[in-house]
Structure 1
Amino acid sequence: MKLKLIIINFLCFLSIGFAQDMGSIKGRIIDKKTNQSLPYVNIIIKNNDKIITGGVTAEDGNFAINKLAPQKYVVEIQFMGYSTLVRNIDLTATHNQDLGTIAILEDVSELKDVEVVAERSNMVQKIDRKVINVGKDLIASGTTASEIMNNIPTVSIDPQTKEISMRGNSNVRVLVDGKPSNVSIEQLLQQIPSASIKQIELITNPSAKYNPEGMSGIINIILHKNSQEGFNGSLNTGVTFGITPKTNSALNLNYRVGKVNFYSNYGFNHGINANNGFVDSERTNLENRQDFNFRNKNNSHLLKLGMDYYIDDRNTISAYTNQSFAYGDGTGTTTVIFDDPVLNRNTNQFFGSTGGNKNQTYDVVYKHDFEKKDENIEFQVNYSHTENDENTFYDETIFNPTASFERRNIVKGTTDYFQFNADYVNPLSESTKLELGIETRIQNSNNKLNDDNPNFTSANNAFEFGRNIYSAYANMGKQIGKWSGQLGVRLEYFDLDADFTVNETNPSYTANQKITDDLFTVYPSAFVTYTANDKNSFNFNYSRRIDRPSIGQASPIREWTTPLLESRGNPELTPQFTNSFEVNYTRTTKLGAITSGIFYRRISDEISRVVFNDPNNPNRNILSYDNFDSNDAFGIETSGNLKFSKWWSVNASADMYFRTVKGTVQNANTNALENAETDVTTFNVRVNNSFTATKNLRFQLFGMYRGKDRTLQFDRKEMYRIDFGTTYNILQGKGTITLRFNDMFETMRFAFDGNIPYRQSGAFYWESQTVYVGFNYMFGGGKNRALARKQRDANETQSGGGMF
């Protein structure tokens, strides 16, 4: 018992002595000119250039930092818009020091330096990608990523389906901050606020480091991220006025102190979209005209919470979670008028639909930097769960004689995605770099359809889709004088297991399907760059790619239906492979940089859209997917970032694509399969002018032309538009007001004309002519604004990678 008392007394003595040896620093920060207290000023405590701890001032400008060891420190006082103040403190003699009142001076030049978003965008050609630094001209061109994508070279967004394509091909993989998302690409691009985007990387020939999916390459959207000390943030909001108004807002917050950085982002989109169109069909004995009218209301909420923990100079742990919720409802009518109403009865179909999408993503990354410069290893674990629900009611009325039919489709889908990867980088010498990595991806999806049709057939079908992908890669880079190169290889094992279960009351249609596949594939890549001088550089690259059928392309569950057309996937699709070659030349002139390039692709078993007769309903067609024969594609591109004067600059691009499409189509009258082939030439051009009127006032004039495109079954006609916009900086550059008039002459529409499987033509229209009014404001700079310093401007330093 006495021994225990002695030990307890000894430990208490040590703890008291240790506590007495600990020191503290306190003080108060004010504005030198106004003598007002400054809250949220960053106090950084360093020792030998290493951050030991820190804090921020309270509302009254006071701060106190305790539990400091008795030694010498450097105290840095940092605040956005003010000159940094440095004090040397010695706590070896006096453990507790009061610095008193410290006045700091506002620095106008520092406030100007905060503005890092350029007025105009520019493009940089790197060894394996084109990097577009997004400026205010692109941010003002649209409220979402989907809208500004149409304004950059190589990329196009289908105005009706929102499908994205590069170089005329829709087999594109979209990443956000280098990571995939379980949210569909179309929905993903419409949910990312344009002001959150820092850069867009166009990786037309990805190296072995990247997953090989995407025949036409990868689009990597890099969002603003900030790790500035203290509070900072931004508020971005805008309204698009068309037939109905639409809103898009984003709030971004960031707080860093010492070794920890916290960030959060919230985005909200709301709007009603009205669309209409028609299709004229000349099918023998079924000649008709279909008129479509759609009205959809969408709401989406996206929340991201994350943290970076800087353990020390060599070790960092980062973690975040994304929570997205999207809800929508819509109504529409399809009217079918036949040329001969005696043989065929006219039909009117009304539908009402509600649906939602919920996504949860959790991500953890650990990074370790070795003693050797630029040598590091990174481990990442990512998991996401997505739910999709749809409830659609159809009310179909047939005339002469009148009959009415009702049906309801209930679709439920879930997807679970798990990813683990480890990446290692080792600069073997000043001119040689080695990259190694491994990756595991596991995806499981389940989609169920409950078709309640009391008049004909009732179905309860399910489609289960699971695939596992295991891969490893190696890249070796070398520079010799003016030459630099990189060789890489990726080894990948793919395992697929899919089941389609049919349970319908109509016994004539029962076709359960089970699909399994396993494949080991090698994907090589090569890059060579020759820099002749400061003004001329050449780049050659090659890669092998694959496009595996997506869940939407493979799922045979009906996606949507009209009286004469139904959309569904094809579970029998096989992957398509692409060998891609590319050459680029960059020329730097007094006006700016011009990049030109040519590319060639050899595509095997190309996946494309197909229309064929419904075997269960001779009056209806099925819109689906199929594998076509191998074909070739090549193209020419050029783009420039030019400044003609102090007040006029231009971003311009033009491209032309050539390809031969081969495949099998169905004759609508005989149902026979026929070989078909067509040559396709597509031309696109974009010009974005930026005019500087005053220091704070800018004007933009944008024009685009997308030439005619062709598939085996129809031609898509050309489309073009002209936009005009202006931006005005207010509040000493911290705020920006944007006004833009899109499609001034209302020339945009999707029109087509075709002869396969029968003669038909049509057009679809949407709210292309709109007026956008937006406002963004930077918080965190200036004097005596406590709430403002808890936010930061997405145009300049958005936190943590935005929404995803």
Structure 2
Amino acid sequence: MKKNQLVIMLAFLFTSMLSFAQQPDTQRIKVKVTGKVVEKISNQPLEYATITLINARNPKAIAGGITNNKGEFSVDAVPGVYDIKIEFISFKVVEIKQKKITENTDLGLVGLSEDANQLNEVVVRAEKSTVEIKLDKKVYNVGQDMIVKGGTVSDVLDNVPSVSVDTEGNVSLRGSDNIRILIDGRPSNAINVAEALRQIPADAIDKVEVITNPSARYDAEGGSGLINIILKKGKNQGFNGTFIASTGIPETYGISANANYKTKKVNYFTTAGYSYRTNEGGGLTNSEYLNPDGSIKSYLDEKRDTKRLRKGFNARVGAEWEITPTTFWTNAINYQKNSGEDKDLINYNNFDVNHDFTGSSYRLSNTNTASDNVEFTSNLVKNFNDKGHKFTADVSISKNNDDSNGVITGSPNFNTTLNNQVQKQFQIQADYVLPFGEGSQFEAGYKGNFNDLDNVYNVNTDDQGNPIQSFLSNTLVYKENINALYTQFGAKIKETKFSYLLGLRWEDSNIDVNLLDTNNFNNKKYNNLFPSAFLNYEISDNSSLSLSYSKRISRPRGRFMNPATNYASNINIFRGNPDLNPSLTDKYDVGYIKRWDKVTFNTSLYFENTTDVFTFVRLQTGDNVDGIPVILSTPINLGREQKIGYEFTVNYTPFKWWKLNTNFNLYNLNTTGDYTYSDANNLVITENFDNQATSWFARISSKITLPYKIDWQTTAMYNGAQKTAQGKNLGQFGANLAFSKDVMKDKGTIAFNVSDVFNSRIMKTETHLDNVNSYSEMQFRKRQFNLSFTYRINKKKTDREKQAPKNENNDGGGEFPG
């Protein structure tokens, strides 16, 4: 079996240095051997092909190199007679015997032919792991995961190490939802991020990067880290594409296409898709109401059935233009249009103190939703040399409209609701990278983010539109202007195995939060410095140790600030809090990574100290419906949260037909703080939310190649129980299953998957307040079955562009200099 090309390349470079070092100075005059390697039939350039020069008179004198993205190579060698070998995975070797080289030599065009005998063996070896572990990040390759075929971005994130998605679609990292989600390095422009992630098909995603402790290059937003979703962009020469059709139970249909056409100077790419999805869910809340002396007053059982329908179209069209060999300009337009219907039926059963039935009622909410989003992005890259000296500029302009109109009917009441949101966003960014010396690098940049959101929400009781309660209706005007500057410097310390990266980011925030109906106008203006520091020690070629620190900020957004009230239940309601302040987090991390032949092990011990942390609480409003107290769930700022945790991720390949990866996270939370508020009767209430809790999360994924080349993948996960200041979140188990089979000479793939095999992904909570104890269950989506068919045109299952030698520490911000 051929060796991995990275190993070959390193061996060539190492032996070349040894052999050349042993020769006298008169023999060290070097000449260049150049050429271009292409696929013989299509003439497409082959990137990362290896070139080996073996001196016929001195076999120890070896020179070598690899081709660039144009298939070109340039190898330095001392004059002499050489045997030249050109190799590429799954292609026949081309050898040039006894080539006399006394001056700069151009070998011209070298064509390689596929080796059919090696192809099947190579595909198994060349396939990327679903999860790539790096010292400072984890990279999840979506294309290798059968579980998410026909799914959405939410399904993708729910399979990423360190990440979990709850039943309502909210994303958390290491057990915290205090995170920042990026798409192609830019903040998501969606108003409701959780809903938007359920509208993007998984087929449009190339990979997901999880960065738990980002450097100063990144936005300081996201107390617990960043999740960067990278969209597909074709790179192969000529026309190629992937087309996917899917269907499922409950009723689900989808079709999508991802294609690109690349000429010598321009690469055109596009993604388009249509989906029709139904989600069936449900839940319950069983409550016991208490008298002032703590004795039971009555009981109320609520049972909820939900059905959500979403019809969505998404399209992305763009082009990358090679202006010069060192200058690239990419422009793209993204468009999404979605519509849907939500049906939410709640049945109420009342019981007296003896639990004897006393009556029932119901509440049916029918809501129509519609949204459309358009975004233009532009990216300019200027490379000054091939050593990383470059300048990049990015611009993004977007507009998002999100409307919902609801009719709520019930045995005692009739209500209508209106929620209209319009968001406009403009972002501009410039970054400059200057490597110098040996292993040193300087970076600096600017970013501006300007965001306007208008939100109108009304609740009416009759045809005249008279409001039920004043606090249920409001108009929010939110304006956010953030300007940021950053600089960072990194270097390897000479003659040691240490490297470091030091950075400083400054962000100026000017935010207006205006509630027009209540004449409540607030301006939040502040600026902060965000230092970051990373230290890496290379213990050996296969193991490294790192220490890192960064300061982060979390500004309230989305449902946290949206005053729109979820009024499906008139006694258990949810509402955002427009008066939230940002929270600040100091993050410390000690990481270790070790690689063996079949195992990669990454572990981390981390500590986070957050002030003004966001916390969801249930408050007594002072209102009653038929004598039953109305409870409001809302986010608030608390004093402090300290979190210490331990995490590890393991990739294990016991056999070439079996791959395992697992992730485990154990953490302890210590929250302290009081909250004072006034209820509907102007009664001032102060509640203490001090709480200490320990919880854990585990996920394991197995991928096995069965006979007849059928792939079988299983994923299981468990969220441990966690105590809260007002009760407890109970444990939750889930499992997913998938099978796939390549057909039509590997041009097609049939995949079948089952989400939530045991129908057990149910969020369960216990709540204890002064006048009510309750137990709740919520299941956003019940078990789903999905069948999909993928067809590829001029594109192999494993793209050759993904066979590049891996550079574990040099492909993104915050990495150690190399």
TM-score when scaled to structure 2? 0.78
Report if aligned partners of 1:423, 1:436 keep a CA contact under 8 Å in 2. yes
TM-aligned CA distance change 1:50 to 1:346, over 3 Å? closer
Distance 1:795 1:431 in 2: 31
Task: Find out whether 1:655 has 2:665 as its counterpart.
Answer: yes
TM-aligned CA distance change 1:104 to 1:682, over 3 Å? closer
533, 543, 551: which one aligns with 1:544: 551
Q: Which amino acid aligns with 2:344?
A: G
Correspondence list, 1:76-475, <5 A = 108=116, 118=127, 120-126=129-135, 128-134=136-142, 136-137=144-145, 139-140=147-148, 143-159=151-167, 161-183=168-190, 184-241=192-249, 244-284=250-290, 285=297, 287-340=299-352, 346-371=360-385, 373-398=387-412, 405-454=413-462, 457=467, 461-475=474-488
- Give the 3-state SS of the residue equivalent to 2:652 in structure 1: strand
Q: Which amino acid aligns with 2:728?
A: D
Higher relative contact order (CA 8 A, sep 6+): 1
Distance 1:607 1:195 in 2: 33
- Give the 3-state SS of the residue equivalent to 2:214 in structure 1: coil
Report if aligned partners of 2:344, 2:568 keep a CA contact under 8 Å in 1. no
Distance 1:50 1:106 in 2: 20
Report if aligned partners of 1:140, 1:738 keep a CA contact under 8 Å in 2. no
Q: Which amino acid aligns with 1:576?
A: S
User: What is the deviation of 1:145?
Assistant: 2.2
Distance 2:127 2:320 in 1: 27
TM-aligned CA distance change 1:131 to 1:343, over 3 Å? closer
Report if aligned partners of 2:621, 2:630 keep a CA contact under 8 Å in 1. yes
TM-aligned CA distance change 1:735 to 1:473, over 3 Å? same
- Give the 3-state SS of the residue equivalent to 1:644 in structure 2: strand
Gaps of 5+ in 2: 1-38, 46-66, 71-89, 95-110, 291-296, 803-818
Gaps of 5+ in 1: 1-30, 33-37, 53-80, 86-102, 399-404, 503-510, 782-791, 799-804
Distance 1:388 1:745 in 2: 34
Residue in structure 2 matched with residue 6 of structure 1 by the alignment: none
Report if aligned partners of 1:274, 1:296 keep a CA contact under 8 Å in 2. yes
Report if aligned partners of 1:362, 1:382 keep a CA contact under 8 Å in 2. yes
User: What is the deviation of 1:538?
Assistant: 0.5
TM-aligned CA distance change 1:726 to 1:555, over 3 Å? closer
TM-aligned CA distance change 1:83 to 1:255, over 3 Å? farther
- Give the 3-state SS of the residue equivalent to 1:186 in structure 2: helix
Q: Which amino acid aligns with 2:396?
A: N
Report if aligned partners of 2:365, 2:568 keep a CA contact under 8 Å in 1. no
Q: Which amino acid aligns with 2:460?
A: D
Residue in structure 2 matched with residue 571 of structure 1 by the alignment: 578
User: What is the deviation of 1:647?
Assistant: 3.1
Structure 1 residues 249-258 or 128-137, which shifts more? 128-137
Q: Which amino acid aligns with 1:237?
A: A
Structure 1 residues 262-271 or 138-147, which shifts more? 138-147
Distance 1:209 1:598 in 2: 23
Report if aligned partners of 1:574, 1:627 keep a CA contact under 8 Å in 2. yes
After superposition, the CA RMSD in angstroms is: 3.3
- Give the 3-state SS of the residue equivalent to 2:560 in structure 1: helix
TM-aligned CA distance change 1:43 to 1:625, over 3 Å? closer
User: What is the deviation of 1:117?
Assistant: 8.0
TM-aligned CA distance change 1:622 to 1:189, over 3 Å? same
Residue in structure 2 matched with residue 751 of structure 1 by the alignment: 764
Distance 2:653 2:193 in 1: 34
Correspondence list, 1:692-771, <5 A = 692-694=705-707, 696-756=709-769, 758-771=772-785
Report if aligned partners of 2:407, 2:415 keep a CA contact under 8 Å in 1. yes
User: What is the deviation of 1:569?
Assistant: 1.5
Q: Which amino acid aligns with 2:272?
A: Y
Report if aligned partners of 2:719, 2:731 keep a CA contact under 8 Å in 1. yes
User: What is the deviation of 1:483?
Assistant: 1.0
List per-residue Cα deviations over 1:355-405 (Å, max 9, x = no partner). Answer: 11110000112221114631111111110000010100111213xxxxxx3
Distance 1:131 1:387 in 2: 32
Distance 1:413 1:84 in 2: 61
Q: Which amino acid aligns with 1:253?
A: A
- Give the 3-state SS of the residue equivalent to 1:448 in structure 2: strand
Distance 1:466 1:116 in 2: 51
List per-residue Cα deviations over 1:313-342 (Å, max 9, x = no partner). Answer: 121111000010111112121122222399
Q: Which amino acid aligns with 2:339?
A: Y
List per-residue Cα deviations over 1:60-80 (Å, max 9, x = no partner). Answer: xxxxxxxxxxxxxxxxxxxxx
TM-aligned CA distance change 1:576 to 1:281, over 3 Å? same
Residue in structure 2 matched with residue 643 of structure 1 by the alignment: 653
% identical equivalent positions: 24
TM-aligned CA distance change 1:770 to 1:119, over 3 Å? farther
Structure 1 residues 186-195 or 584-593, which shifts more? 186-195
Q: How many residues align?
A: 685
User: What is the deviation of 1:142?
Assistant: 6.5
Distance 1:115 1:302 in 2: 33
TM-aligned CA distance change 1:679 to 1:726, over 3 Å? same
Correspondence list, 1:514-663, <5 A = 514-617=521-624, 619-663=629-673
Residue in structure 2 matched with residue 501 of structure 1 by the alignment: 516
Distance 1:274 1:796 in 2: 41
User: What is the deviation of 1:775?
Assistant: 1.7
User: What is the deviation of 1:176?
Assistant: 1.6
Distance 1:693 1:710 in 2: 43
Distance 2:590 2:754 in 1: 37
User: What is the deviation of 1:303?
Assistant: 0.3
Q: Which amino acid aligns with 1:392?
A: G
User: What is the deviation of 1:296?
Assistant: 1.1
Q: Which amino acid aligns with 1:746?
A: N
Structure 1 residues 703-712 or 317-326, which shifts more? 703-712
TM-aligned CA distance change 1:745 to 1:450, over 3 Å? closer
Report if aligned partners of 1:236, 1:775 keep a CA contact under 8 Å in 2. yes
Q: Which amino acid aligns with 1:429?
A: G
User: What is the deviation of 1:238?
Assistant: 2.2
TM-aligned CA distance change 1:130 to 1:350, over 3 Å? same
User: What is the deviation of 1:536?
Assistant: 2.0
Distance 1:240 1:797 in 2: 32
User: What is the deviation of 1:490?
Assistant: 0.3
Report if aligned partners of 1:175, 1:219 keep a CA contact under 8 Å in 2. yes
Q: Which amino acid aligns with 1:756?
A: L
List per-residue Cα deviations over 1:642-679 (Å, max 9, x = no partner). Answer: 11223332111211111112233689999732323221
